[in-house]
Every structure is written in structure tokens, then in C-alpha cells.
Structure 1
Amino acid sequence: MRPSIFFNVHLVSDSTGETLNAVMRAAAAQFENVTPLEHNYYLVRSERQLERVMREIEAAPGVVWFTISDEDLRLKLEQFCRARHIPTLAVLDPSIHMLSRHLGVTASDRVAGQHALNAEYFERIEAINFALAHDDGQNLQGLLAADVILLGVSRTSKTPTCVYLANRGVKAGNIPLVPGMRMPSVLDEIDPKTGPMVIGLKIGVERLVQIRSQRLMALNENSITDYTDEEAVRAEVTEASRLFQRRKWAVIDVSRRSVEETAAAILNKLNQRHDQE
């Protein structure tokens, strides 16, 4: 097997850097045995801030990806890197130029335009608050106001998936499936046509044992319990699958899915339901 390749990647943004992080990680994932060493510089909006960034780039050369709206700062960064043969990429430029040509409109240089305090922004904040308030079976009656309710055994990424959905404006809550505990009665009150969509998250036994074992190791817990015992886990997973089947709930297998992929599958199901309505 080829040894891992490590390289410095400098992410320079005049905003929160979310776009840069997402694009860089998606690109790096296409290369096997490659590990980016991230250097993040956010809210870079002055020459003084940029000078500090350039000193750090010079100290650890690699590649530079940036989203900077100010033309003077962009030019200064590009000239600095060009003189030192450091590759640069203005990540948003191709998308902005394509839209500009298509729309026949010149783009503005507004910093962090995607974070404008519009109705969509406040919907996302409300959805995030909802996810936090209805995590892990909290405030069960309030789940009737959700867009989607996720059910699954422990370590099926229910919480991070709900938070990710909330960032897309979706009100999501989750209920853990615990062996020996009855399902909350609120699930019987849900109208399958107009109420929240209930989705079961299933996972393979071997994968779940692996995830739970790693979790215990991270907590320095070495005792063997039903939590990681393969037969006990198999019974737990089987019972969850039977429950999903009895209730005729939609099911998503998260065994080999990232949180983003699981959320995308949920959004697809919500969109399909919306289209049918």
C-alpha cells in the first residue's frame, strides 16, 4: 500500500469558511492515502489580518484556497503566492462567473452574502433550536410539530443528522430505541399523511459493534457489556427492524453512510412526500 501523503492546505475566508471546508474535504476525499493538514483563517477582512495569514503560508507552504470578496486583498494574496510558486484557487469564482454569464448580471462583492438575516436564516435558527430541544427523546409531545422524527438504536448518528437537517431548515427530533423500553405514545398520535415523517435508521450488526467499541475506547471503558456483545446487539438491531416493519415507517440504512449522505436521503424522502401532496 502506498504510504500516506500529507500536505498543507490553507483556507482563507472573509466569512465563516464553511464553503471552503466543505469543498476541500470533498476534493481531498477523491484521493486515497492523502491527508490534508488544515490551516484555517476566517473573517480575514483587513490587510493586517492578511499579512499574518501570508506569514503562516510562507512558513508552511502548500496550497491556498480562498473566498475573499475585496479585490485589493485578493490581488495581494494571489501575487504573494504566485511569487512563491504556491498554487491558489478562488473557490467560488467559477460558480459566480457561470451565474453571471447565465443571468446577464454582474455579481456584487458582498461579504458573507449567504448569511443575510432573511426569513430563511431565522428558519434555520428555529430548526436548530428545535433539534436541540427534542434530542434523544426530550419534550416528546413537542415532536408533533417536527418535519421528521428519527428513530434508531444507540450510535446510529441520530443527533448529528438532526442538527445537519436543522441547518437546512428542517425541524428534526429523535427518539432512541432502548431494549426493554416501550415506544412513547406520541408516535401513536401522528397522522401518517399530515404529521411528521417517521424514519427508522437501521445499521449492520458488525458495523454497530465496531462503532460502539470505539466509543467505549474513547471513554477509556474496557468492560464488556450487552452494549457491545454481538448477540445482544444482533437482538437489539433485529427488534428495531421488526418495529420499523410493523409500523410501516420509512427506513434508511446508515451502516456505510456519512451524516451528510443520511441527511440527503432524508431530504429526498421529504421532497417526494411534498411532491405527492
Structure 2
Amino acid sequence: MARSGDIGIYFHVHMISDSTGETLMEVMRASVAQFQNVRPIEHLFALVRSPRQLERALEHIQAFPGIVMFTLVNADLRRDLEDACASLGMPALAVLDPIQATMSSYLGAPVQGKAGAQRVLDADYYRRIEAMNYSMAHDDGQGDDLASADVILLGVSRTSKTPTSIYLGHRGVRTANIPLVPGAPLPEILYRLKKPLIVGLTASPERIIQIRRNRLLNLKEDRSTDYVDEETVKEEVIHAKRLFARYNWPSIDVTRRSIEETAAKVLNLLNDHKAKF
């Protein structure tokens, strides 16, 4: 573990999984987020299912000492990893063990011990793929068949509509997003829809202007336009808020929210919306 001035504390974290490693990565990052100025140097070893694959991971662990986190269901591989880490004086944490033990005790059912069990190609998997395809086809006002959406996101430019839609699609939620463009009418069907949840996304004018200016810089566009004019952007935001209030569409201020936080709020609203039908 090393400290570099005011930059933060750096440490190696090794994640060993017999599946894709996505669960480990999410748990590790969520845990590290609770510590200030801590910077993990991530080492991921996915699909580790043989002694030889584990051996290669252990060689790397020995070269870069740190914390070891793992999800391995094979008893022999688990024992070999834990023994090796103990001899090296490194902590090794089986991140799913406490959760599975609690669930097994409560349900009165044994743990399957099957690698990658959550990746089974079941109906839910295909539902999520279909939702992703729908969300991508209905990005930025494209596509039709809005009536079959689960969620429709509305918002002025640079309010995170697209990344939020894609994230929700990955969660199995069919999501369309439509930009609010000054002078451009919304699809008439929006005002008649009952099944989809329509959610407005807003942000502070200052935040929107900052993001838009960065986008123009990336496009090597430095001309002054209404796109980043302070008064024009304020009017866009005011118009959007009035629209949402007029039709009683719930809105979310994304100024200080991550994509995950915005999506979580949308999912909560969607659960409440579904309860009405």
C-alpha cells in the first residue's frame, strides 16, 4: 500500500472469479467508495476454473501484494487460494459466503455450488436483451411504438437521457427517450399514453451549459450559439419544468445524481406506477 501526497492511498486488489467477475467488481467498487482518497489498483481474473488458471493468478498476487476477493464454488480451488493467501499473509475474502449462508439458513435449502449460476440463459436474460434493443432503437426520439415502452424519458439536451435509458435497458426496462427541443412538438401520442411511465429529467442551467460547452469543445466548435447561451438555457429548463407539471409527469433533477442514482429513482417511480394498474 502506498500514499502519494494528497492524491490518495493506492492499494492492489485482486478479484478472482469462476464467472465474469462483474459481481466482484461491483462489490469492490461500492466498498471502496466508502473510503476517502482511496485508489484501488484493480486486477481481475475471470473464469478461473482450473488449477493452472488459479496458479497464474497466484503468481500475479505474489508479485503485487494486496487484498484478495473471490467468488469460487469449487472447494479445491477455494482451499488452494485461501492456503496460498494465508502463507503470503494476505487477506482473502469470499464475498458471497455470508449472503449465501444467511439465505440458505432462512430458506432451508442448500447452495447449488454452480459456477456462473446467475448467467443462465433463462427468460429473464432474453427479456433484458430485448429491452436493451428497444432502448437503443428508441434513443433520442427515434423509433415508434412508444405505447410498448415501460418508461419514456423527456428532457432538454444534456440531461443524461441516453445513458439512463441504456442503463435501464440493461436492467430489463424498455426505455425510450425524447429530447425537448425549442419549437419542436412532442409526439401527440405522449398525451394519450397510460401504460408507460413518463419521467422528466432536469438539471441546473449552469450544469447543462458546462456539459454543452465541453461537448462543443470536443467537436472543435467555438462559435457562440443559443445552445450555450445562459438566458436561452434557463428558458429551456423553465419550459421543461412547466411541461412536466402541466401533465403531472414526475421529474428528477439529475444535477448531482449519477446515472445509477437516476435509474434507481426511475425504477422506484416505475414500481409505484405499476401498482396503479
TM-score (norm 1): 0.91
Q: Counterpart of 2:200?
A: 200
Deviations, residues 197-228 of structure 1 (Å, cap 9, x unaligned) = 11000111222223333444555555544333
Which ranges of structure 2 fall in alignment gaps of 5 or more residues? Answer: none
The corresponding residue for 1:78 is: 82
C-alpha separation between the residues in 2 aligned to 1:186 and 1:274? 20
Q: In structure 1, the residue corresponding to 2:199 is in which secondary structure? A: strand
Q: Is the 8 A contact 1:15 1:43 kept in 2?
A: yes
2-structure distance, mates of 1:228, 1:28:
36
Pairing of 1:57-136 with structure 2 (within 5 A): 57-136=61-140
SS at match of 1:151: strand
Equivalent of 1:161, from 164, 167, 175? Answer: 164
Cα shift readout 1:26-55 (whole Å, capped 9, x = no counterpart): 111111111112112211112222222112
| Paired positions, count | 273
* Matching residue of 2:231: 231
Q: Where does residue 186 of structure 1 map in the other structure?
A: 189
What's 1:35 paired with?
A: 39
Deviation at 1:92, TM superposition (A): 0.6
* Between 24-33 and 154-163, the greater mean CA deviation after superposition: 154-163
Contact 1:65/1:90 (CA < 8 Å) preserved in 2? yes
Q: Percent identity?
A: 53
Amino acid in the other structure paired with 1:96? Q
**CA distance in structure 2 between the aligned counterparts of 1:77 and 1:223, rounded to whole angstroms:** 59
- Distance of 2:158 and 2:59 partners within structure 1: 42
Q: Distance in 2 between matches of 1:222 and 1:55?
A: 51
Aligned partners of 1:152 and 1:240 also within 8 Å = yes
Q: In structure 1, list runs of 5 or more residues that go unmatched.
A: none
Structure 2 Cα separation of the partners of residues 45 and 155 of structure 1: 44
Alpha carbons of 1:205 and 1:50: their partners in 2 closer, same or farther (altered >3 Å)? same
Q: Pick from 137, 141, 145: which aligns with 1:142?
A: 145
Is 210-219 or 102-111 further displaced after alignment? Answer: 210-219
Q: Aligned with 1:276: secondary structure? A: coil
Inter-partner Cα distance in structure 2 for 1:219 and 1:74: 51
**Counterpart-to-counterpart distance in 2, 1:232 and 1:88:** 55
Superposed CA offset, 1:43-90 (max 9, x none): 111222222211222222211111111111111111221111122111
Identify which range, 218-227 or 170-179, moves more after superposition: 218-227
Other structure's SS at 2:58 match: helix
Q: Matches of 2:243 and 2:157 in 1, distance apart?
A: 15
For residue 136 of structure 1, report the CA deviation from its aligned partner. Answer: 1.2
Note the aligned Cα RMSD (angstroms): 1.9
For 1:260, give the aligned amino acid: E
* TM-score calculated relative to the size of structure 2: 0.91
Amino acid at match of 1:275: A
